[in-house]
Amino acid sequence: MARFGRVITAMVTPFDDRGELDLDAAARLAQWLTENGSEGLVLAGTTGEGPVLSQAEVVALTRRVRDSVEVPILVGTGTNDTAETIELTRRVSDIGIEGVLVVTPYYSRPSQAGLADHFTQVANSTHLDVVLYDIPVRTGRRIEPETLLTLARDVDNIVAVKDAANTPTVTAVVAASAPEGFEIYSGEDAMTLPIVAVGGVGVISVASHWVGRQFQAFFDAIELGDLVEARRQNARMLPSFAFESGDETPNPIPTKAMMRVLGLAVGQCRPPVGVSPAGLEERARELLAGLR
């Protein structure tokens, strides 16, 4: 069993009409998600607009959601500043969560030795499990397999990776060589099927905001060895994967639009991502109608 759940939703962060953090709405959303297929949650990640949340907001959000649900919770604490990442990691370490999600330091593009040192320092600052987040399209630097495997072997609480590098052949090498218990989670909804095929155990998902049950059915089929059914469930979700982000509607704009259509108050995105364009909520309604 995946230690954080098979279907982990990277939860959006609700804001009110003034753009302020809405903790009541966050609690309601977390409860709704866990009732509709989410087996774990990530808070303050990319989808949760972590880069525009203050540390105090991340702590307050974590406390409120932890008090609201019983599923495993990961908190996105990674930044491109090692000291800041350590500080935020320490601040959430005693709230009763299961782990932290630490993205590759972005923009500065450190060497592999720099990456290893960054992740090791962060892991050594906490008793929590640490999940590395490899997403080179956003960070400009991937975690090479040799670096990832060394960290997995040498740092006891580095226990998993969120793999959004979109190279399943490399993922297969990591899965075949990683120490026992090290887990790989798909970080890209559309790549979940190939990543699971080579050794992944779950997905940290955006579309599971509204297709959580379908993702559960997908993993149920995988566990039963029913590849035909798993492919059918994956095909059913493909329009949702296409909807969740785009050049004109970057993540999490579409997800927040979908949540509003479903009657969940999440507000708009903070700048620089910005507000939802006209017509997006109608597209969300059409997508839901197709799923039903």
What are the residue numbers of the active site?
133, 162
- In contact, 77 and 92? CB cutoff 8 Å: yes
What CA–CA distance (Å, rounded) separates 41 from 216?
14
Name the region of 44 (left: φ>0; alpha: ψ -120 to 50; beta: rest). left
List, in order, residues 6 or more apart from 53 with CB less than 8 Å away: 13, 21, 44, 61
- In contact, 250 and 276? CB cutoff 8 Å: no
| Degrees to nearest 5, angle at CA 210 with 234 and 202 | 50
List, in order, residues 6 or more apart from 150 with CB less than 8 Å away: 116
